Amino acid sequence: MKSHPLFWKSFSDFIDELDGIKEIIQGSDFLALDLEFTGLRKSMSGGLKNNLFDSISDRLKKMQENMMEFLVLQVGLCAFHWVPEARKWKYYAYNFNVFPSAEHGDLTFPCQVETMKFLLEHGFDFNRVILEGIPFLRPDREEKAKRSFFLKQKAILGQGPSPQRVSVPEKLKPLIVAISERVKNFLDDPDAGQELNLGDFTAYHRKLIYEEIHERFQGQMWVESVPGKAGETEILLHRGKEGLENWGKEPWKKLQNAFEFRKLIDFISSSEKLLIGHNMLLDLLHLEEKFHQDIPQEYGEMKHLLHTRYPKILDMKLVAEWGELADLFMDSSLKCMAIRLSKEPFQCAAVAPGNEVSARYEKKEAFHEAGYDAFLTGQNFLSVLQYLNHMDSMVLEVSFKSCLFPLALDFTPKSSLTILLTVLLLTFVSLAILLMDRMGLSWIFPFIALIVAGVLAEHGLPLPGFLLTLPVALNLLRTLYTVTLWMFRALAISVGVFPALNIAIPDVPYINLAGPDMSPDRSHVFHLKMPSSWKNQDIEELFSAVGPVQIAWIDDTSAYIALKRREMAAEALTAKIPHNDSLYQVTTYADFCAESLFDCKRRGEKRQKLEEINS
């Protein structure tokens, strides 16, 4: 087992560095994020398995049911800064090891054996995160914790309502009397010092003792529980009211500490930086659920919430899974994507470490450490961007940030002709972008440029200085093209034109936070209800008249059946398959969904009937 004590971020480290971390975030061009959990899937044998033909809200329900009870153990953050002088991206990686604050009360959380073994084998220290993790508390718990702190304070100050006393059992009476006597002697003897340690007691005994001496000696002393040497709890008694006003400072500070990490998450959210993740839907849901509030049950509300919280996001898994670049990636896992991006036609983006943790990542891979995975996600993003723009040394001088503003190149028109030419040039560049981008005609750009230059020269027109030499012109055109394309892409990617989250349903690959989701054509999909004895072969036989099928089992007695020859759907519906039989029942996907909706309503009515029986 590996151990990285140096790069452990415990609570005191965290507080010491918090301002610095915020500055780094504020100054960054974009952020990358990764989380580690105590588990990913509650039960392999449970009924809520993912299905190829889930709807998005089916899938989200399953995620909530199977995944959201696990704890977040590590939040990895990596901030990327463009350093123009060094012409490099500098990155600052952080591992925040977090654990619910004691104010959460007596919490029980699930652990998935596979996940825990996996994390431990990759150097994670579960012992330390439990004992020393940065404490956190959700706002709703925060209010509760504050209330109970004030109640406790009032009780210690003797201002609270006297609670009903627990009656002292017969066999403990001698103990309570003896302690009461000891306290009396101490208070009567002015030379006995300011404090009296009554020793170590169980919680029950402490309660009895507190109630007794509170009743007998109120106003003359105050008591508090202090930790003993061996982890036990001792009662410390203070004479008079001196120091009482100081009581609460320490516990209040401790309580405040539990809010600091959530405030950092809030800071990230309000910075409105582009946030990059790899398969980040689960990460965002956990951030919301652990540090803010429960995830809304209603899908539209959930989408709105995530979009408001993180307006600019990019899910790198989608880049490898879907869209124009997907064919270049065989495997969309973070590691495989990074390996792919280090080979032709890609090139690994050049980055330089900005802090201690990052320096370690430069020397050695640390897969599944949240900070490293966040860093790698960010680097993958840069490599992809670089590929998209055939980035060269000249373009690299333009920082990512400046791309989001009007071009700042030295290009001032000198005469009316140059203005015309500039307009023509920009139109030509835009057209070239369209042609090259949409139709893959990359040869057309230098070709047309040559023709235009040739035609202009033949007609003896007064060409502006910078167009006289063809190489200079070509280079400028190329730069303009590249920068404009980059700007176009960067805007599309980062300003939230398309904030999509991978959901891994084959025909609905993503959630679109900013607009309506895809509505896939499932006219070739059927729902089959059948006896539990049926196997794949039985289903294949039933559908043999309409060609091969894809079977997506829901449970032992039902499955979705997709025709591989989509065009056979109409035939399947009419004659080829007997729809109802004593043994089985075939329904179209659309009808099945409508029926489920109807069933939901019926279940509502049934519930009402049941309530009538109950009452």
Q: Rule CB under 8 A: which residues touch a copy of itself? A: 1, 38-39, 41-45, 99-100, 104-114, 116-118, 120-122, 125-128, 130-131, 164, 171-172, 175, 202, 205, 230-231, 326-327, 330-331, 333, 336, 365, 367, 536, 606, 609-610, 613-614
Distance of CA 345 to the CA centre of its chain: 30
CB of 103 to a copy of itself, least distance (A): 11
To the nearest whole angstrom, how small is the minimum distance from the Cβ of residue 117 to a copy of itself?
6
Q: Give the DSSP H or E segment for 513.
A: none
State in angstroms the smallest separation of the CB of 160 from a copy of itself: 16
- The residue (of 87 and 607) whose beta carbon lies closer to a copy of itself is 607
The tokens of 191 are what? 């030379």
Q: Looking at beta carbons only, is 129 or 280 nearer to a copy of itself?
A: 129
DSSP state of 84: T
Residues 238, 177: Cα–Cα separation, whole Å: 19
Instruction: Check if the beta carbon of residue 369 is closer than 8 Å to that of residue 123.
Output: yes
Nearest distance from C-beta of residue 486 to a copy of itself, angstroms: 27
Angle at 393 between CA 387 and CA 394, to 5 degrees: 105
CB atoms within 10 A of CB 501: 25
Smallest gap, in angstroms, from Cβ of residue 612 to a copy of itself? Answer: 11
Q: How far is the CB of 211 from a copy of itself (least distance, A)?
A: 15
Rounded Cα–Cα distance for residues 309 and 272 (Å): 9
Q: Smallest gap, in angstroms, from Cβ of residue 15 to a copy of itself?
A: 21
User: Of 73, 77, 78, 75, whose CA–CA distance to 120 is shortest?
Assistant: 73
- Which residue has 């972008």 as its token pair? 433
Residues 6+ apart with CB under 8 A from 478: 445
Smaller CB distance to a copy of itself: residue 109 or 149? Answer: 109
Q: Is the CB of 168 or the CB of 573 nearer to a copy of itself?
A: 168
Q: CA 471 → CA 394, 410, 479, 483, distances in Å?
A: 15, 18, 12, 18
Using CA atoms, how far apart are residues 531 and 589, in angstroms rounded to an integer? 19
Q: Which is nearer to a copy of itself, 6 or 203 (CB)?
A: 203
Residue 279 burial (CB < 10 Å; 0-12/13-18/19+)? Answer: buried
Show the DSSP H helices in 158-248 as ranges: 173-188, 203-217
Q: Which is nearer to a copy of itself, 111 or 155 (CB)?
A: 111
Q: How far is the CB of 336 from a copy of itself (least distance, A)?
A: 7
246 vs 614 by CB, closer to a copy of itself: 614
Nearer to a copy of itself, 116 or 453 (CB): 116
* Bond preceding residue 345 cis, omega within 30 of 0: yes
